[in-house]
Amino acid sequence: MSQLGAFIWGTADVLRGPYKASQYGNVVLPMTILRRLDCVLAEHQAIIGPLVQRFGNNPELLSAQVRRATGLPFYNTSPWTLKSLLGDSKGLEANLKQYVNGFSDNMDVFERFKLADEISTMAEKNILYIVVERFANIDLHPKTVTNAEMGDLYEYLIRTFNESSNEAPGEHFTPRDAIRLLVDLVFEGDDEALSTPGTIRSIYDPTVGTGGMLSIAEEHLIGGSDKPGLNPQAQLRLYGQEWNDHSYAVCKSDLLIKGYDSSNIQLGDTLADDKFAGQTFDYCMSNPPYGDDWKASQ
């Protein structure tokens, strides 16, 4: 994490001047997500490319073929990677936008960040190439940076940039130790979930933020790349709703990379517009933003 932190702050140095400190997150967060997706897609590019040529006119069929061939629930129809984009410095702005727009419809996270506008701004300020080059040379593949570490990084970034914007630093962050205690309590006594292969359990977080509670619940029950879970053969269905565009985008992209159904993460005010009204779940965990004024939701 220290290496990633140094990288992030080095990028902030590049942005300093054209951007205010409170605006760094508008670039760093979506570019971090883009690089993560870029690393995940890289090893499958030779498979996805021909599928795009064959089924590109039918997104639904293309999505099914990509999932069958690679296991990924998303794809990109452009021929680009962040590294290959650097080969055409004059066309970088247009090509990067093509790359961002080439993601499948379920990967709508970059619209929430308005990344296309930031790309134009960076191009205008002559820092686009430097920023893309920095991200192209950081390895964010899941084999190098685990999903849990990426979750920590996302929340660290959001918390740090909120502090720069004079927002409440705890708004998007629940301490990991507190979440692990909560998860222990949630699963306590559910012997079937902890022991029976194939057991299906659903977890819902109505104020999901960047998805920290869902990720740790998954890590606890199913396990991760570096840690076995209590029941790796269980099936976990993760659901959440989030009001903040940036937190929603981080959570959705993280779960998509893991292969979860992205439609289970919804954007909106849970109190005023419950996207899961009438549905029931096995478990519910939440750390509501108690410091917020909820009058608008009444």
Q: Residue 157's pLDDT is what?
A: 78
* Domain-located, residue 157: no
How far apart CA 65 and CA 169 sit, in angstroms, is 42
Checking DSSP bridges between strand 223-224 and strand 227-228, what pairing results, if any? Answer: antiparallel
How far apart are alpha carbons 186 and 164 in whole angstroms? 35
Helix (H) or strand (E) holding 211: none
pLDDT, tens digit (0-9, with 9 covering 90-100), for 95-129: 999 999 999 998 888 998 899 999 999 999 999 99
Is residue 166 a part of any domain in this protein? Answer: no
Report in angstroms the alpha-carbon separations of 98 from 79, 131, 135, 277: 9, 17, 17, 37
Q: Do residues 15 and 127 both lie within one domain? A: yes
For residues 244 and 133, membership in a common domain is answered with no
Domain shared by 10 and 140, yes or no: yes
Residue 173: count other Cβ atoms within 10 Å of its Cβ: 17
- 6 vs 142 pLDDT, higher one: 142
Is 96 found in the same domain as 28? Answer: yes
Task: State how many domains the chain has.
Answer: 2
Q: Are 23 and 73 in a shared domain?
A: yes
Q: Which of 231, 253, 233 is nearest to 242 (CA)?
A: 253
Q: Are residues 120 and 224 in the same domain?
A: no
Same domain, 83 and 218: no
Are 60 and 187 in the same domain?
no
Strand partners, 242: 267
Which tens digit of pLDDT belongs to each residue from 237-286?
999 999 988 889 888 888 887 778 888 999 999 999 999 999 999 999 99
Q: Which domain holds residue 87?
A: 2-145
Residue range 182-231, pLDDT digits in tens: 999 988 888 777 788 888 999 999 999 888 899 889 888 888 656 778 88
Q: What digits encode the pLDDT tens for the residues 47-81?
A: 999 999 999 999 999 999 999 999 999 999 999 99
pLDDT > 90: percent of the chain: 53
> What CATH code is carried by the domain that includes residue 189?
3.40.50.150
What is the pLDDT confidence band of residue 162, given thresholds at 50, 70 and 90?
A: low
What is the phi/psi pair of residue 84, to 5°? Answer: -70, -25
For 180, 181, 207, 215, the CA distances from 176, given in Å and listed in that order, are 6, 9, 16, 11
Confidence of residue 173 (pLDDT cuts 50, 70, 90): low
236, β-bridge pairs: 201
